Amino acid sequence: MAATSSKNSPVVIIGGGFGGLTTALSLSIGTYRPPIVLIEPRERFVFLPLLYELLSGELELWEVAPPYSSLISSRGIIHIADKVENIDLEKEVVITSCGHEINYSQLVMSTGSKSDSYGVEGISEHSFTFNQYEDVSKIKHLIKGFNSLSNKNLVIVGAGATGVELACKMGDLLDDSSCINLIEIGDRVLPYGKSFNQDQILEALKERSINLYLNSKVLRITKEKLEIINLNKEHSEAFTLDHAGVIWTAGVKPSVPYGLPNHLLKDDKVLINSKLQVIGYENVFAIGDIAFDLETPLASNAQVAMQQGKHLAENIFSLLAGKALKPFHFVDRGEMLSMGVRGATITGMGITISGLIAFQMRRMAYLSKFPNFSLGIRSLGAWLLSHRKNSNDPLI
């Protein structure tokens, strides 16, 4: 299916994660909004920082993974549930897996990241991931099966944000006879995290009797064992660890669309300038996990992607109006982490706090970031109603 001529072509956004969806929604509220096409194969947007609360039952599916139809209805955004097969930057056309050819006036690439196995043998066959709402049901099934097992060793590989949040949550969900092991190749948990949060997470892991293996690399995973080596010891020999389940959170890599020439890529990311434009292309942009500004490298997280998405919409409006584009400046608003059931730790904007109050503050902060205002209000109402059932908890 070919689109119309380029002058009437839409802004095409590839990827409906935090960056892509924020861009689409921000464009849709403009006075002179352009036609907008969002190409995203999934039917649901996943609010990843709250995926842990979906696992524990503290939140419902509609709060954590609302359908795109509920987020973009009446916004004039066309959602194409398909994958991009190729991009032709010279002809300004995007080709999808189903054979649709979609011309664009401006192109936004925000395809995020995917799990990185680092070549470790057995990951795809013998481990779980935790970055989609479909993963929640698989982990719930794993938890249920633990009650009938003699070997109750759970292994989580990777002690970044996902790994430590998941470890704490699993520590509260599994019974006392289970054993959780957290493996990290570096010398500390949350390698890129705030020091206060690192300390709070370490204490939370200790309280839940979670075994922490630092400076440890997984060599191989089989159905019942992991082969591990300690990198901190000279001439260290590999050892094995029995398991009844492995969850791999050890890393991600950019998920760059096909069709981009190699000179636009560095370290598997798309090179951009300070205005979020792909180098050499005025009307092509990249944001989020796949974007790389050589002058100002940024972390790959939702906070960066959402700020870029909002700024990019303003730059696209400027481009359409023939005005100068503005450089993007990231504002670090801190770090919030789930810490078990009804617990969290927060560092940022002059605040360092952990525990139940931090859990409530984190919940309120994320509600304010909901991509759909009515869904945020509905979730707030559901939370307040459930909160009244437990009057012992203070309410902010």
Residue type, 100: H
- CATH fold for domain 6-41+82-114+253-320: FAD/NAD(P)-binding domain (3.50.50)
What pLDDT sits at residue 326? 98
The residue-averaged pLDDT of 71-98 equals 94
Q: Mean pLDDT over residues 5-33, rounded?
A: 88
Query: How much of the chain exceeds pLDDT 90, in percent?
Result: 69
pLDDT interval class at 170 (50, 70, 90): very high
Q: Burial letters for 110-141: b for 16+ Cβ neighbours within 10 Å, e otherwise?
A: bbbbebebeebebbeebbbbbbebebbeebee
**How much is the pTM?**
0.89
Q: How open is the CA angle 85-247-253, to the nearest 5 degrees?
A: 35
User: Which strand (E) or helix (H) includes residue 101?
Assistant: strand 101-103
289-310 mean pLDDT: 93
Q: What is the pLDDT of residues 176-214, one digit of tens each?
A: 889 999 999 999 999 989 999 999 999 999 999 999 999
E strand segments, 169-328:
179-183, 211-213, 216-221, 225-230, 239-242, 245-248, 252-254, 265-266, 269-272, 284-286, 291-293
* Dist CA 47 CA 179 (whole Å): 29
How is domain 123-251 classified at the CATH fold level? Answer: FAD/NAD(P)-binding domain (3.50.50)
| pLDDT computed for residue 366 by the predictor | 80
Name which of 306, 310, 311, 273 is nearest 292 in CA terms.
273
Name the band, by pLDDT with cuts 50, 70 and 90, for residue 393.
Answer: low
The set of residues, in sequence order, having a beta carbon less than 8 Å from that of 365 and lying 6+ positions away, is 336
- pLDDT of res. 5: 38
Higher pLDDT among residues 382 and 371, named by residue: 371
- How distant, in Å, are the alpha carbons of 89, 149, 265, 341, 377 from that of 258? 11, 44, 12, 40, 39
Tracing tokens 């991509």 back to the chain, one arrives at: 371
The pLDDT of residue 52 = 93
Q: Which residue has the higher pLDDT, 291 or 152?
A: 291
Task: Note whether 6-41+82-114+253-320 and 123-251 share their fold.
Answer: yes
pLDDT at 157 over 80: yes
pLDDT at residue 60 in the model: 85
pLDDT the model gives residue 387: 46
H or E element, residue 87: strand 84-88
Mean pLDDT of the chain: 89
Alpha helices in 185-301 (DSSP H): 195-207
Across the range 289-302, mean pLDDT stands at: 92
Q: What is the mean pLDDT of residues 4-31?
A: 86
The candidate with the shortest Cα–Cα distance to 291, out of 20, 6, 11, 3, is 20
Residue predicted with more confidence, 350 or 79: 79
pLDDT at 380 (0 to 100): 43
Q: What is the pLDDT of residues 230-282, one digit of tens each?
A: 998 777 788 999 999 999 999 889 999 988 999 999 999 999 999 999 999 99
Burial 261-294 (b: 16+ CB within 10 A, else e): eeebeeeebbbbbebbbbbebebbbbbbbbbbbe
The confidence score (pLDDT) of residue 150 equals: 79
Pairing state of beta strands 93-96 and 291-293?
unpaired
The residue whose two tokens read 């992607």 is 305
Q: What is the pLDDT of residue 340?
A: 93
N-terminal to C-terminal alpha carbon distance within the chain = 53
Average pLDDT over residues 151-162: 94
Give pLDDT tens digits for 113-150.
Answer: 988 888 899 999 999 999 888 999 999 999 988 877 87
Q: How confident is the model at residue 6 (pLDDT cuts 50, 70, 90)?
A: low
What local confidence, expressed as pLDDT, does residue 133 receive?
87
As a whole number of angstroms, the distance between CA 129 and CA 162 comes to 10
Query: What are the boundaries of each domain within the chain?
Result: 6-41+82-114+253-320, 123-251, 335-388
